[in-house]
Amino acid sequence: MSGDGRASEGGEEEVRGARRIPGPRGAVDDLDLESVPRPLLPPPGPAAPDEAVPEQSAAEPPGPAAPERAGPEPSGPEDSGPEDAGPRDPGPEDAGPEQADPEDAGPAQAGPAQAGPAQAGPEQLAPHPFAPHPATPDQATPEPLMTSAPGTGLSHRVLQALLGAWALSACSAEETAAVEDHLTECAPCADEALRLRDAVGLLHTDGSLDLDPTLRSRVMDGCLGRRPARIPVPEHAAPYDAETARLDALLRDIGDSEWHAPVRLRWFEEEREVSRRTTVAGVIGHLTAVDGLLSAALGLDDPLGRGETPQDPIERTERYWSAAQRPPTRTVREPWRAQSHELIRTASFAGRNVAEASVSYGAFALPLQDALLDRAFECWVHGGDIADAVDYPYQAPAAAHLHRMIDLAARLLPAAVAGRRRAGLAGPAKELVTAGAPGRSVHLEIEGHGGGDWFIALDSPAALGSPERAVAQVALDGVEFCRLAAGHISPVEAAAGQEGDREAIRDVLFATASLSRL
Amino acid sequence: MAKETAPRWDRRMQQRLACGEAAALGELYDRFAALVHSQAHRMLDDEDAADLVTREVFAQVWENPEAYDPKQGSMRSWVARLTHRQSVQRLRRAVASSYAAEHGEDAAPDPEELERRVRSATAAARADYIVSSMPAPLRQALELAYVHRRDYRQTAADLGVTEDEARRRLRLGLQLLSTANARPLEGASPPGYGRAR
């Protein structure tokens, strides 16, 4: 009960998703209907709350008789006000668990199959799409079954219907008093009241615990130590596997409204920071669209559809965004996740055979293993964007994965410097060497987890970066370097420490920022 | 209304695990880790112990996916049963060892007290499972009334339903939840996780 004051002030749209009774959210059909009594069905009337996108529902095949998918409820006595209808059968109240025979009514004796609303007659359980309207003649007469509570004018049925609200202390003082009076004289209601009060004791609000993101790899390692995989996830797909899982765990925990939180995507283009506004759901759409390049390369379905699709990440993203009829919602999560799972699976089966297969991004291409690393990097960066937008913490990748991401950027840098030189944005080449020979280099010293030393060849992508030919050294924290490569900080403010040839350092830092894109 | 067949996802997952596909293990974790961990945590009230149960449960599934019988329910309910079993074992050991630490090596806790602990932990975990599996309209109503302290009239307004309907949902939700307190028959798996027949 603690700490829930914050969200309770919020508007209605905050209510869903913001704070919830914790516990993993599952699908309705996971409940074993045999062993848990089924409730009467809440009518899925026009005003039903947004059930359009229950968590994970898209992945869960419809189970038989999932309660909320059943048809309209027969108009039971509980639906109608006391003045307008009575039960069809004049018998005892037939909806509630007090229907249970006296000998097995108590919560202690009642087996799970007997307790609760499963006692309702079959006509309550089966959907009755054509059940008579409450206003049919034979229902016109209300049939109070027990005496009304003295002095309140509330009938047994009304008081009984209030039991849930009463147990939750969610009715008015007068109603509470009336219910409590009634309980002294109505044994079935007293029994139920006791049971419902006990049930309230099982609710709790101690926030759903965020899973430690490192647990996944520990669990996987433990499993694989006990039974090695016959089809392992290849090493080059491991960072993508880990980062998509991390982002997915974040997405699972955010509320419906947070999917519409604004996100500013930033990158570095034409020597300056540029940005683009979208939402959390829009970011996932962006990831889906660009990950789709790998899908296409692996022979899987392109999320942009069949036929000619653009390869440029920005064009793909624009295409994906504009194809949506309405602003994207949390429904984007499932296709994104299904695609990433499928990519990992396919990459696993293909193994080393396709690691070198080329994935075209339009203006450039990467071997599949680097493309997977690039997508892992993007997934982390945009996961961070989303986490910022919804005010969640988000850690850096595992050190080994971070190291590989940094390594990819370092390997791309000589070509990026050369490209900028051709565009007149970097200093002239000073010393051309034969391909594969050591050339003038900048020593990139990356500190922290996943760090290391890289030597970036300055004058030609064909030259070999080398410690002996280092003309400058620049030191950066690993995460800072990645933020620079993502275009989240400017090259001017990036370096922690530098010494040597200033122009060489400048060229490398600007080239790093130029690796960023939407 | 026995489920004749488990959903396709469950069967396919079982096959993929049996084939030794590590990617399938990852997907399994992504789907069920939160369930397993929170259930274990609810029963043991200890983060490290919940981690260990999580490791053990996934290792069991991975080592022996054939043990899952789709005829007996969903994979989710099977995983919940494994989690329950592991947690109970661990809880018994934890209670016994903390009792021994307090009262000397040969001392054993009162068996009835031990059973009471196991029962209440089971009910708590089962309640979470029921809440997570109940129809969304019922869960939302309970959340509003319990977490947000809305009375049933406000709950009705928040959900855009009649007051009658709000009262009904609160009562039904609690009725479902109350089945978590039912005492399982000797030898039977607890309700809420599906039952072997």
Q: Which residue has the higher pLDDT, A178 or A211?
A: A178
Q: Is residue A434 pLDDT above 50, yes or no?
A: yes
Q: Is the predicted pLDDT of residue B182 greater than 90, yes or no?
A: no
* Chain A interface disruption, residue of B9, B78, B161, B168, most A CBs within 10 A: B168
Comparing A376 with B6, which gets the higher pLDDT?
A: A376
By C-alpha distance, the chain A residue nearest B184 is A111
Q: Which helix (H) or strand (E) holds A266?
A: strand A262-269
Which residue from A minimizes the CA distance to B29?
A216
Domains of chain B: 8-133 (1.10.1740.10), 135-197 (1.10.10)
**Model confidence at A224: pLDDT above 90:** yes
pLDDT reading at B126 higher than 60: yes
Is residue A63 predicted with pLDDT exceeding 90? no
Spatial distance between the Cα atoms of A491 and A512, rounded to a whole number of angstroms: 8
Average pLDDT, rounded, for chain A: 76
Using alpha carbons, list the distances in angstroms from residue A514 to A189, A267, A357, A384, A443.
Answer: 71, 8, 25, 20, 19
Cβ–Cβ contact B159 with A under 8 A: yes
pLDDT at A207: 57
Provide the edge-to-edge strand list for the sheet that holds A438-447: A452-457, A438-447, A464-477, A497-500
Of A26, A32, A232, the CB nearest to B22: A232
Q: Which chain B residues are within 8 Å of A222, Cβ to Cβ?
A: 55, 58-59
Confidence at residue A73, expressed as pLDDT on a 0 to 100 scale? 39
Please, which pLDDT band fits residue B188 given cuts at 50, 70 and 90? very low
* B85 has a pLDDT exceeding 70: yes
* Average pLDDT of the segment spanning A381-399: 94
Question: pLDDT above 90 covers what percent of chain A?
Answer: 48
pLDDT for A261: 95
- d(CA B155, nearest CA chain A) in Å: 9
Cβ–Cβ of B179/A116 closer than 8 Å? yes
- The pLDDT assigned to A227 comes to 97
Question: What pLDDT score does A154 carry?
Answer: 82
Flag whether residue B132 sits within 8 Å of chain A, measured between CB atoms.
yes
Residue A394's pLDDT is 93
Asked if B78 has any chain A CB less than 8 Å from its own CB, the reply is no
Contact A368, A233 (CB under 8 A): no
| ipTM for the predicted complex | 0.81
Rounded to the nearest angstrom, the minimum Cα separation between A158 and chain B is 9
Cβ <8 Å between B134 and A39:
yes
B60 interfacial to chain A (CB closer than 8 Å): no
B174 contacts on A by Cβ (under 8 Å): 163-164, 167-168, 195-196, 199-200
Per-residue pLDDT at A271: 82
The pLDDT value given to residue B6: 55
In this model, does residue A26 exceed pLDDT 60? no
Write out pLDDT tens, residues A127-181: 333 333 333 334 444 444 444 444 557 889 999 999 999 999 999 999 999 999 9
Write the CB contacts of B56 (distance below 8 Å, at least 6 apart in sequence). Answer: B86
Asked if the model's pLDDT at residue A40 lies above 60, the reply is no
Residues B16-62 have pLDDT tens digits of 999 999 999 999 999 999 999 999 999 998 999 999 999 999 999 99
Arithmetic mean of pLDDT, A63-69? 38
Measured distance CA(B26)–CA(A285) in Å, rounded: 23
User: CB A112 to CB B41 under 8 A?
Assistant: no
Sorted by sequence, the CB contacts under 8 Å of residue A250 that are 6+ apart come out as A383, A386, A387, A392, A394
Residues 27-56 of chain B whose Cβ lies under 8 A from any Cβ of chain A: 27, 29-35, 37-39, 41, 47, 51, 54-55
pLDDT score of B167 more than 90? yes
Beta-bridged to residue A279, according to DSSP, are A262
Amino acid at A338: A
pLDDT in tens, A283-341: 999 999 999 999 988 889 888 887 788 888 988 998 888 887 788 888 999 999 999 99
How would you class A225 by CB atoms within 10 Å of its CB: exposed for 0-12, middle for 13-18, buried for 19 or more? exposed
- Residue A69 carries which side chain, given as an amino acid letter? R
List all residues 6 or more positions away from A237 whose beta carbon is below 8 Å from its beta carbon: A343, A344, A347, A348, A369, A372
Is A48 a residue whose pLDDT tops 90? Answer: no
Query: Does residue B66 carry a pLDDT above 50?
Result: yes
What CA–CA distance (Å, rounded) separates A138 from A134?
Answer: 9
Hey, which residues does A264 pair with through a beta bridge?
A277
- The verdict on B136 touching A (C-beta cutoff 8 Å) is yes
pLDDT at A21: 58
Is residue A211 scored above 60 in pLDDT?
A: yes
Q: Do B178 and A198 touch (CB under 8 A)?
A: yes
Give the residue with greater pLDDT, B13 vs A211. Answer: B13
Q: What is the pLDDT of residue A245?
A: 95
Check residue B183 and give its pLDDT: 57
A196 to B178: CB separation less than 8 angstroms, yes or no? yes
Contacts of A111 in chain B (CB under 8 A): 182, 185, 191
Q: Is the pLDDT of residue A53 over 80?
A: no
The DSSP code sequence of A391-406 is T---PPPPHHHHHHHH
Among A21-30, A273-282, B118-127, the least confident range: A21-30
Average confidence (pLDDT) over A56-79: 38
B113 pLDDT higher than 60: yes
Q: Mind listing the domains of chain A with CATH numbers? A: 215-390 (1.20.120.450), 400-514 (3.30.1050)
pLDDT in tens, A408-422: 999 999 999 999 999
Q: Which residue in A39, A41, A161 is closest to B167 by CB distance?
A: A161
CB pairs under 8 A between A and B: 340
> In chain B, how long is the greatest CA-to-CA distance?
61
CB contact under 8 A, B77 and A51: no
A7 CB neighbours in chain B (<8 A) are 148
Residues on chain A touching B63 (C-beta within 8 angstroms): 223, 226-227
> pTM here?
0.72
Radius of gyration of chain A from Cα atoms? 31
* pLDDT above 70 for B82: yes
In the block, residue with structure tokens 């599934």: B61
- Tokens representing A121? 């007659």
Q: Are B3 and A34 an interchain contact pair (Cβ–Cβ within 8 Å)? A: yes
Mutate to test the interface with B, among A119, A202, A217, A246 (most CBs of B within 10 A): A202
Measure CB to CB from residue A61 to each of B9, B26, B167 and give the nearest one. B9
B191 has pLDDT over 90:
no
B20 touches chain A (CB under 8 A): yes
Residue B159 has pLDDT above 50, yes or no: yes
Residue-level pLDDT at A152: 56
**Inter-chain residue contact B140 with A195, CB threshold 8 Å:** no
Which residues does A195 contact at the CB level (< 8 Å), separation at least 6? A97, A107, A115, B174, B175, B178, B181
